[in-house]
Amino acid sequence: MNNPSCLRPLDILLAEDNLDHAELMLETLGDFNPKNRIIHKANGEEIMRHLDQTLQQREPLPDLILMDIKMPRMSGIETLTAIKQNDALKHIPVVMVTTSSNEQEVSVCFRSGASSYVTKPLSYNEFVEKVVSLNGYWGYTSKTPHQSS
Amino acid sequence: MALRYVSYFCGCLALIAVVYYSARGFGTINRHLSALEYLSEHQMRLSVGLANTSAALLAEPDQAMHAAENLTELLAPTRPSSATLQTDGNFAELLRQKQRLQERLPIPQGLPPKDNAQVLQQFREGLEILSSHNQQLREHQKQAIMRALSRLFLVDGILLLLAMGCIGIPLSQQQRSLLKSAQQSNRALEEKAAALHDSHRTIGNMLQDMVGERRKASLTSEANARLAALIDSADDAILSLNLAGYIVTANNAALSTFGAYCKGKRFIDLFSGATAEQLAEMMARTEQHNSGTTMNVVLERNQQQLTFALTLSPLRSEQGGLIGFSVIAKDITRSQKEQERFRLAVEAAPNAMIMVSRSGQIVLFNTEAQRMFGYSAEELNGKSIHQLVPIELRHAHHSHVEQFFRSPVRRAMGREQNELKGRRKSGECFAIEVGLTPVESDNQFYVISSIVDISGRKIQQAKLNALNEELMRKNQEMEQFIYTVSHDLKAPLVTIAGFATRLRNTPDIVFPDKQIHQIDRILVNVKAMETLLQDLLHLSRIIKRDLEKSWVNAQEAIDKVLNTLEGHIADTGAEITIESSLADIYAQESLLLQCLQNLLSNALKYTQPGKKPRVCITSVVEAQASGFRIKDQGVGIAPQHQERVFNVFERLNPQTCEGTGVGLSIVKAIMEKHSGRVSMSSTEGVGTEFVLLFPYPPQNEVSDE
């Protein structure tokens, strides 16, 4: 955990409307592995647009999508559903991020196809630990599903 | 007669003779035929012999010899059957001659023809003689057959004729005579039928005449007697009066009602005063209008007031003239009493009661019904029930009444969810509830409807519903508000905490201790704020979520809570005493644990300085409810603050103790959610006591949960 260099750097797509939170997450994730490539989008629409472009230009898809649940225009759950309904995108693991850990919200996330769930912590150390463990899972499995296919 | 039977007998004899003679004749013919067959066969052999002999005479010697050998074989004597010989003596004699001739035939030897020619010649001649002889015999047999046949036909024919004559003639004679007698009797029957028809018509005419003359008198005397017996045995008093009003006949019931010597008296004289006047008027009316009338009269009998329904009808002669009156008096004392009792019961009912006949006519009602619909008794009596129904519903009401009488069962009206309405005299319509009960009286169905004016209740209910909806809406808004607030308030906290942490951990800068302390204070306060928000969120969830209640073992629940507080208890050295047998609690376990947790941690928290916390937990059981009493010896709460302890964020001494001030609010919310009760009594400086009570349902319902 404290030795992130053993992990493969990741392409992470971040959806977060709160720019402060986005900045914190970007920095935290960058701290933990400077080679991580993180793209930030402010809402679901932008995420979908970005993914469409990536597909059109045949660029590599992100390894992981971190997504806030509460976003304007297109909420996290809507975006998640859209991703999971798209055959070209549905293999990408999506981790939902939220401020409150409401049980109902959590179950909705998993029913809609989320891979995991993270509560926005007050201390970003917790957050880093969570992402590290997640990243560890995807990193140590050496390949994300779309790379193996 | 005898002659006929003799004739039949002769016929039968002749028939038997036919059978016998035919049998015999056929036997004879049969024998001749077999003789003929025998002869024919012999003839054939003779012909062959002749042919062979001729051939032997002409042929070579060795052939001739061969032919001669065949001849002897050919003529080897065959004996006719005994049946053949029996045909007749003549035939047997002829046969014997033939046999002798054959035996005398010279037998040709196996010699050359020139030596044997003579013998052969002789043999041939012999054969020819035999042949002609045989021919004669056959002719003879044929003739015999012909004879036998003709004799058979002749005799049989005669016998059959005889038999037919003997049997057939008397039979046809008898048939003819039978036919004749049948025709004769038929004719006689027809004559009789015609006579009967005539007499029937006569009788019918007579009967009609009789009916026409005297309609009632046309009954036979037996029927008359039966009618008389019927009238006599009737429970009702039946009298007939003449035109002047004197009693002519009276049945047994009449005699016992109006006195044994009433016959011959004036009927009116049996009554007194006003009743007699009424009766006289009634008779006059009957005379004029030619129709029966009924009135109730009261008679005093053996110190009893008896009520009779008197029906007075005119008696008319065949020609239509009035000849008197009939009076039927029915004792209705008992039924009147019952009616009165029924009326009183209806009157005493708290609801409006209206009894309706099948045609929808109001036959009975109470004062409450008059009051409710605003009609007087005279206005209601005999009116149609539809008058009490709003005009727009009357049509449907008609069919409802009909439907009810088709299958009369006790039921509440207006099951179809549509609201029932009544209509007052003033035209005002109002909501009602109606119960229908079918009753049978005098072999007729009635319906008693019990009506309750529910317009007031309806208005109240509508108000209550509106209020309820308003409350629900407010509640929902409140919950949504709490949820949103706690969520949205957390977002900036996350930012503050995040940046503060990053600032504190910036690798390149080393802050002086004071700044580190300031940053730490920021973080501690952010944490406190988060706890507050979480509690608030928690509270809103308790209010929002549905309960899943079950029976919880109280001892186990307390143990679970004490486990989580273990560290705290050890630190403070608290003494906790628990009653040995606690009653089970019917509640959602997680919420029950939450309550206990909040109360116990409070009890451990608010202690008097320098004193160990002492907590005592006992069971509380009430009717349909069970719970705990949690008593501590802590700081207690001043009376002026006691009302506020259950409010959200209420903390009495924020400086001395940690906590958000939501704990008791959560307890209160949980208890309200369970429809239970929480109460508190406290004395400052002595201690505080909380009582929690969770209601439980009746035993039979618990098993379903």
The winner for highest mean pLDDT among A99-113, B214-228, B671-685 is B671-685
Distance in angstroms (rounded) separating the CA atoms of residues A103 and A114: 14
Distance in angstroms (rounded) separating the CA atoms of residues B549 and B330: 70
How much is the average pLDDT of B454-479? 88
Distance in angstroms (rounded) separating the CA atoms of residues B173 and B167: 10
Q: What percent of chain B has pLDDT over 70?
A: 87
How much is the average pLDDT of B150-164? 88
SS3 B460: helix
Instruction: Count how many residues are written for chain B.
Output: 705
Q: Which residues of B touch A (CB under 8 A)?
A: 486-487, 490-491, 493-495, 497-499, 501-502, 523, 526-527, 530, 537, 541
Q: Provide long-range contacts, Cβ within 8 A and 24+ apart, for B124-127.
A: B124/B50, B124/B53, B124/B54, B124/B57, B126/B101, B126/B102, B127/B46, B127/B49, B127/B50, B127/B53
Chain A segment 24-43 residues within 8 A of B by beta carbon are: 24, 27-28
Optimal mutation site among A27, A75, A99, interface B, most CBs of chain B within 10 A: A99
Q: What is the pLDDT of residues B245-263, one digit of tens each?
A: 888 888 888 888 887 777 8
Q: What is the pLDDT of residues B536-579, one digit of tens each?
A: 778 877 777 778 888 888 888 889 888 888 888 888 888 888 88
pLDDT band of A144, cuts 50, 70, 90: very low
pLDDT at A57: 92
The two three-digit tokens of residue B60, written as one number: 């070579």
How much is the average pLDDT of A59-67? 88
How much is the average pLDDT of B64-83? 58
Among candidates B486, B487, B497 on the partner chain, residue whose Cβ is nearest the Cβ of A122: B497
Kindly identify which residue of chain A lies nearest to residue B501, measuring between CA atoms: A123
Q: What percent of chain B has pLDDT over 90?
A: 2
**Mean pLDDT score of chain B, rounded to an integer?**
80
pLDDT band of B464, cuts 50, 70, 90: very high
The answer to whether the CB atoms of A122 and B502 lie below 8 A apart is no
Residues of chain B positioned with their CB less than 8 A from the CB of A18:
491, 495
Model confidence at B94: pLDDT above 60: yes
How much is the average pLDDT of B353-378? 87
pTM of the model: 0.41
Nearest Cα of chain A lies from the Cα of B489 at a distance, in angstroms, of 10
pLDDT band of B650, cuts 50, 70, 90: low
Nearest Cα of chain B lies from the Cα of A120 at a distance, in angstroms, of 7
- DSSP alpha helix (H) spans, chain A: 19-32, 44-56, 76-85, 103-111, 124-140, 145-148
Q: Residue B287: how many CB atoms within 10 A of its CB?
A: 13
pLDDT at B466: 93
- Pick the residue with more confidence: A116 or B699? A116
Q: Does A121 touch chain B (CB under 8 A)?
A: yes
Distance in angstroms (rounded) separating the CA atoms of residues B106 and B116: 11
- DSSP alpha helix (H) spans, B293-332: none
pLDDT at B50: 76
pLDDT at A93: 86
Confirm if B366 and B349 have CB atoms less than 8 A apart: yes
Q: What is the pLDDT of residues B506-528, one digit of tens each?
A: 878 888 888 888 888 888 888 88
Optimal mutation site among B484, B493, B494, B536, interface A, most CBs of chain A within 10 A: B494
The answer to whether the CB atoms of A100 and B490 lie below 8 A apart is yes
Model confidence at B190: pLDDT above 50: yes
Among candidates A28, A70, A123 on the partner chain, residue whose Cβ is nearest the Cβ of B497: A123
CB contacts < 8 A (A, B):
49
